[in-house]
């Protein structure tokens, strides 16, 4: 596959048993090393799209039509066994709340070890070394005391960092972050956004960052896709979205921001990407 080929290219629609066309003719492209933001209001289909890319919608009785090309292979043609081998190793997810993502009965070290054993083999020493390294990479303690804690002994911010550590444990090519800061206070939210930016630079991991918060997406992402009622209505770099949005819905989103926040601060782009989400 050529270096210019996207990491992920999806052209899809999603139907539920009791509701058709939840997503309609979505065309989405994510390049290697890119952070793509997906913004939309509640009910617009953001989480449905995330689950569709991970091929987890069948559990909810949904049908995905189209194609999802990830590293050149169509995920819609994979068996569930093949998908399980891919999830967590090549493509990982960070969900909204660590309280629902972590098992309250298991120690942090146990949960991290199970995540490591899902896609790796090695000695106990190699496993512990990998766990300590990934905890350090998300700015968490890597000592025995922390590894023996249970989720109830963590702050919400620490819990989210543990979830991120699990997601990057096997150095995936793509990380899907679905509303990962919505349960956090403002300071912790800023810290987690900075963590995603650092992981993107250091690991060269592509990130699909899903949120209803246009400002946080603009601060983090190389491009922004606007999702409304199951359709992507606009996609471009943040500067274009903020300064010359074309779609009326995007214009209303920007107009709804407090006046002092309507213009994104000037930042140096981390990578140079051409094109838009759809053609």
Q: Is the pLDDT of residue 29 over 60?
A: yes
Tell me, yes or no, whether 204 lies in a domain.
Answer: no
271 pLDDT tier (thresholds 50, 70, 90): very low
Res 242: pLDDT? 92
182 pLDDT tier (thresholds 50, 70, 90): confident
Res 3: pLDDT? 53
Res 173: pLDDT? 97
Containing domain of residue 122, as a range? 96-171
Share of the chain above pLDDT 90, in %: 79
Tell me, yes or no, whether 115 lies in a domain.
Answer: yes
Q: Is the pLDDT of residue 199 over 70?
A: yes
Tell me, yes or no, whether 158 lies in a domain.
Answer: yes
Which has the higher per-residue pLDDT, 274 or 14? Answer: 14
Q: Is the pLDDT of residue 264 over 90?
A: no
The most confident of the ranges 97-106, 205-214, 258-267 is 205-214
Residues 69-81, mean pLDDT to the nearest whole number: 96
State how many domains the chain has: 1
Q: Is the pLDDT of residue 119 over 80?
A: yes
Which has the higher per-residue pLDDT, 38 or 215? Answer: 38
Q: Is the pLDDT of residue 86 over 90?
A: yes
Tell me, yes or no, whether 113 lies in a domain.
Answer: yes
Tell me, yes or no, whether 27 lies in a domain.
Answer: no
Burial of 111 (0-12, 13-18, 19+ CB in 10 A): buried
Residues 40-59, mean pLDDT to the nearest whole number: 92
Q: Is the pLDDT of residue 169 over 70?
A: yes
Q: Is the pLDDT of residue 279 over 80?
A: no
Res 261: pLDDT? 55
CB 278 within 8 A of CB 224: no
Structure tokens at 175: 């990380």
Q: What is the mean pLDDT of the chain?
A: 90
Tell me, yes or no, whether 118 lies in a domain.
Answer: yes
Residues 91-119, mean pLDDT to the nearest whole number: 92
Tell me, yes or no, whether 143 lies in a domain.
Answer: yes
Tell me, yes or no, whether 275 lies in a domain.
Answer: no
Res 266: pLDDT? 42
Q: Whole-angstrom Cα distance, residue 167 to residue 174?
A: 10
The two beta strands, 91-94 and 174-178, are: parallel
DSSP notation for 2-60: -TTS-SEEEEEEEEETTEEEEEEEEEEEE-TT-EEEEE--TTSSHHHHHHHHTT-GGGG
Res 106: pLDDT? 96
Structure tokens at 234: 């606009």
Segment holding 64, helix H or strand E: strand 62-70
């Amino acid at each position: 596959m050529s270096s210019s080929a996207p990491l992920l290219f999806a052209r899809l629609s999603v139907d539920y048993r009791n509701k058709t066309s939840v997503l309609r003719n979505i065309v989405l492209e994510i390049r290697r090393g890119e952070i793509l933001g997906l913004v939309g209001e509640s009910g617009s289909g953001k989480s449905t799209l995330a689950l569709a890319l991970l091929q987890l919608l069948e559990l909810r009785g949904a049908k995905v039509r189209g194609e999802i090309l990830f590293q050149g292979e169509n995920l819609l043609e994979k068996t569930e066994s093949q998908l399980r081998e891919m999830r967590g190793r090549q493509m990982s997810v960070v969900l909204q709340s660590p309280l629902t993502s972590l098992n309250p009965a298991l120690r942090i070290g146990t949960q991290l070890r199970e995540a490591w054993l899902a896609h790796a083999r090695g000695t106990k020493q190699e496993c512990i070394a990998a766990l300590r390294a990934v905890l350090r990479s998300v700015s968490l303690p890597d000592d025995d005391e922390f590894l023996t804690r249970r989720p109830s002994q963590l702050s919400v911010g620490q819990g989210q960092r543990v979830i991120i550590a699990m997601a990057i444990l096997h150095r995936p090519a793509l990380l899907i972050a679905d509303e990962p800061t919505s349960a956090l206070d403002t300071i912790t939210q800023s810290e987690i956004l900075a963590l995603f930016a650092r992981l993107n630079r250091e690991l060269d991991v592509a990130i699909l960052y899903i949120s209803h918060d246009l400002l946080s997406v603009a601060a983090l992402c190389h491009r922004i896709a606007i999702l409304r009622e199951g359709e992507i209505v606009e996609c471009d770099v943040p500067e274009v979205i903020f300064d010359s949005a074309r779609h009326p819905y995007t214009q209303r989103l920007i107009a709804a921001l407090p006046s002092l926040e309507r213009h994104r601060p000037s930042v140096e782009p981390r990578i140079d990407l051409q094109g838009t989400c759809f053609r």
